Structure 1
Amino acid sequence: MDEQHAARRRRREEAGGPACRDADPGLFFPPDGGTMTSGQVSRAKALCQACPVQQACLTIAVSFGDSNGIWGGTTPGERRRLWDQAARLRSVASIVTDLAAGRTVTVAALDRPAVVYHLTTAGWATERIAGALGISPATVDAAYQRGRSAARFAAALSRGSPGKAPGRSAA
């Protein structure tokens, strides 16, 4: 990369432009609708990781229901899982209420990130959550990270005008 190109890229990044602007689109979208290699996915995600518009890019993909390629540092499967977890954040209120009241509740593994996220934001310590759900503190931490990602995703959706879940039919 020559000096002028590097200077333009720095100015664009400082101005908030996408990090992928000068990248080969084939890095983010498989040619001819094919499958991306794990190396392609890793390289695309690495570029997205440092992008100042990563969240906006993800919101655009979800708003328009785009289920192909890497958008906002996520694969189509990851976007579907985020969409599902964002929906779960809204659906676990009664479970969280029961746990807060001291009731014994069985939490399905798919609901765990949403429940852990809500309990953590309500001030519960990792050890308390682990004891209430019968899981390890490491599992609590991993579930919290997934729940937090889903909460950020849900917040981005509420700022945009989402269409349908990626890869899903409109209801």
Structure 2
Amino acid sequence: MAQADTSSSENVQYVVDRLVLWAKRVDRSLARVEYLSESTRQEVVIRLRSALAPLGIKFHEVALLQEKAPAQLVWDLLENLAALEPGVLSVSGFEETFLRDDVRNLVYLNYQREKFADLPLRQIWWLTPTLADAFTRAIPDLDSWFVVRLKLTSV
């Protein structure tokens, strides 16, 4: 997993730069960014949106809703994502939804990994360290589909 041991601002810019490079090179793909701080994650999103706009790359954001059951959430998410224009998609809220009751909820994501990967979107999945660890142990098949793996170490 790529990581920069630098100041907060430099680490944020490093992650943004890597994601912009990735977004320019592929039409569809999965990336994961492990983050510690919600405010730092939001800073990356703001900078990334600004960096992609001049390139003509659309930027979409989705925050997963916690009130839905994980299985229903996956189906609704796939349906909603299929309606989006091609571009970059930032998805957050996985931990609250998929780890709230049981790590086995992650299998709903794993079962649909091909459908997520086939969408004409470059998807950034924001994972806390706890969730990233659960991905690696509980659903290594899905974890292997992430072509970009970054750590946002800033707090």
Q: TM-score range by the shorter chain?
A: under 0.3
Q: Which structure has more strand as a fraction of its residues?
A: 2
Q: Name which one, 1 or 2, has greater alpha-carbon Rg.
A: 1
TM-score by length of 2: 0.26
